[in-house]
A and B are shown apart, each in its own frame.
Chain A
């Protein structure tokens, strides 16, 4: 097992890991001083490239490469950190912000130095009041001792950090929507190009990175990119926090080396399926990822391997369902999420996600028709033609195609569960579940 890069501090100091004193005692801000005093911005950038670190926000894009897209001669430029975590099943960034906010602050300062940016913004999901307070406090503490502000560490590097509280809209996690929202507008995604690295916040070059991505930077600058690249697999280096939830005995956030298998994650970390049951299905990487059945348990947690297997590691959310789980009902719930969160700009997404939700709801309500499976495929195909992976995109952002992934992947894996709805052998969604009673197929007994 590799060293713990992200969660060591909160494990060692569960009662004060978020304070500056505790952070100082655990090599805190040494990476920043090393960077600004002993390295040029180019050298820091080179270490990040050498680490092979890939973004932890969902798309897994190599961070060093992304930084390289910023035009050389345009200033000011901004770093915007994405703490809008809202993908169902994902709860790692909140933990990092609550328990290790100084590593986020240090990571941001190091990144700003490398990017030659003097102003960073942390966009925090509004519902996470506690995380917001902890991050605000960490920035204040860091400012009081001179890590944030003018002439950091006695050098001529200056950097300001603004903590921004969002207000509830999942779509603002998408980077262009996030930038509109941060500028004070509705969180509407826009077409790329231009990419934010060229034209982002206030039309200036802007790098958008995830919270967990940032929290790796102190370690990488202290220990070097090569040491980081030794962990994990060749194309997915490092460790990563997986958010394990659903029907395992011990759900939670686990930092593990990339390359571990799902089986190990479930059995060793999750302590097995509850009540001694077995895995029927699992979502390998967040609500937007196509689902897997038990035949994929030995697939390693590696971004490229997952891509070849027809899904993705995405946001790091792994949701497990045991043999009693009602698959169409679970899928309906995710589709409902997408229908609710669609920003409404693109017809296929706005109308399509609503249609999927309504059809599934009607089927679960006991009014399934034989043609419904074809209809579901057809609606999916209208949103994302061809139903391939990675999905074809006819919409402004990937949310539209994402809504289809749970549907088509599970109809292919578990056709009998859907056929049951068509033949009327299923209890209705509404009538089977008067207040307090358990609807058929949903297990609320754990």
Chain B
């Protein structure tokens, strides 16, 4: 993290960007969630001082900012690890053993739900449906998708991320375009085919995100 908790977040380009975001809306209060995202991207979590800055920008009270931020699960009010691991245990994933997968992960990393590993690398959270049910069981690392896991693969995946970093592992094993488009009826009649993410398309690779 380049910022200290007390550093001002909305200065220079970030301040300009904040102003630009506010102008997108007929009423600048609509920029509250986007600005909280900006803050969290910059500071790693939603800091008290950052929320005061947002309150000043929008002309509302810090209490209003906090009252809104705390409603939304993506905003973290305390520092978290380098990577956020969100494991879906909702129904479609549960049907493929996601609860076992998650318990196993926590045991392997000796950590509890919503807590960070001792080395500060991973913070774990159990989440509701991640909209990747066709690739169940799945998880997100920093909101990047990994699908078709099982308890062993999930542990191995996270060890891989810890050793080699998220971006390279995501490029090799993540799903950029999941879920795959459906097959046409003609293709359907040819019989079973692989589903879900498959290899990344070349274009998606070039784009470098997902």
Assuming the A-B contacts A253-B182, A436-B107, are A127 and B86 also in contact, with contact meaning beta carbons closer than 8 angstroms in the complex?
yes
Cβ-defined contact, A330 with B95, below 8 A: yes
Interface residues of B in 117-172 (CB under 8 A from A): 127-136, 140, 143-145, 150-151
Cβ-defined contact, A319 with B177, below 8 A: no
C-alpha spacing A75/B202, complex, angstroms: 46
Cβ-defined contact, A333 with B100, below 8 A: no
The proximity string for B residues 90-114 relative to A, scoring 1 for CB distances below 8 Å and 0 otherwise, is 1110111101110110111000000
Closest to B142 in A: A129
The stretch from A35-43, A160-168, A373-381, A393-401 touching chain B is A160-168
Cβ-defined contact, B182 with A334, below 8 A: no
Cβ-defined contact, A436 with B100, below 8 A: yes
C-alpha spacing A185/B90, complex, angstroms: 27
List, in ascending order, chain B residues with CB within 8 A of A181's CB. Answer: 33
Cβ-defined contact, B67 with A127, below 8 A: no
Question: Is chain A's interface secondary structure helix, strand, loop, or mixed overall?
Answer: loop
Cβ-defined contact, A446 with B96, below 8 A: yes
Cβ-defined contact, A245 with B133, below 8 A: yes
A269: Cβ under 8 A from any B Cβ: yes
User: Which residue of the partner chain, among A246, A268, A435, contacts B107 with CB atoms under 8 Å?
Assistant: A435
The proximity string for B residues 178-210 relative to A, scoring 1 for CB distances below 8 Å and 0 otherwise, is 011111110011011101100001111000011
B32: Cβ under 8 A from any A Cβ: yes
Cβ-defined contact, A183 with B29, below 8 A: yes
Cβ-defined contact, B33 with A442, below 8 A: no
Closest to A171 in B: B71
Shortest CB distance B72–A (Å) = 4
Assuming the A-B contacts A98-B177, A126-B37, A433-B100, are A341 and B128 also in contact, with contact meaning beta carbons closer than 8 angstroms in the complex?
yes
List, in ascending order, chain B residues with CB within 8 A of A86's CB. Answer: 128-129, 131
Shortest CB distance A67–B (Å) = 21
Interface residues of A in 336-374 (CB under 8 A from B): 337, 340-341
A152: Cβ under 8 A from any B Cβ: no
A202: Cβ under 8 A from any B Cβ: yes
C-alpha spacing A88/B67, complex, angstroms: 27
Shortest CB distance A199–B (Å) = 15
A251: Cβ under 8 A from any B Cβ: yes
Cβ-defined contact, B100 with A89, below 8 A: no
Cβ-defined contact, B94 with A330, below 8 A: yes
C-alpha spacing A438/B152, complex, angstroms: 13
Cβ-defined contact, B129 with A90, below 8 A: yes
Cβ-defined contact, A245 with B134, below 8 A: yes
Assuming the A-B contacts A162-B25, A184-B68, A330-B94, are A433 and B131 also in contact, with contact meaning beta carbons closer than 8 angstroms in the complex?
no
List, in ascending order, chain A residues with CB within 8 A of B92's CB. Answer: 88-89, 245-246, 251, 319
User: Which residue of the partner chain, among B26, B103, B131, contacts A90 with CB atoms under 8 Å?
Assistant: B131
Cβ-defined contact, B27 with A202, below 8 A: yes
Shortest CB distance A10–B (Å) = 4
List, in ascending order, chain B residues with CB within 8 A of A321's CB. Answer: 95
The proximity string for A residues 121-165 relative to B, scoring 1 for CB distances below 8 Å and 0 otherwise, is 000011111100100000000000000000000000000001011
B36: Cβ under 8 A from any A Cβ: yes
On B, residues with C-beta under 8 Å from A are 24-27, 29-34, 36-37, 58, 67-68, 71-75, 86, 89-92, 94-97, 99-101, 103-104, 106-108, 127-136, 140, 143-145, 150-151, 176-177, 179-185, 188-189, 191-193, 195-196, 201-204, 209-210
9 residue pairs A–B, Cβ–Cβ below 8 Å: A1-B185, A90-B129, A91-B131, A130-B144, A162-B25, A247-B95, A250-B195, A252-B195, A442-B99
The 3 closest A-B pairs by CB, nearest first: A444-B97, A435-B107, A167-B72
On A, residues with C-beta under 8 Å from B are 1, 4, 7, 10-11, 14-16, 19, 76, 85-91, 93-95, 98-99, 119, 125-130, 133, 162, 164-170, 181-187, 202, 241, 243-247, 249-255, 268-269, 271, 283, 287, 317, 319, 321, 325, 329-330, 333-334, 337, 340-341, 433-439, 442-446
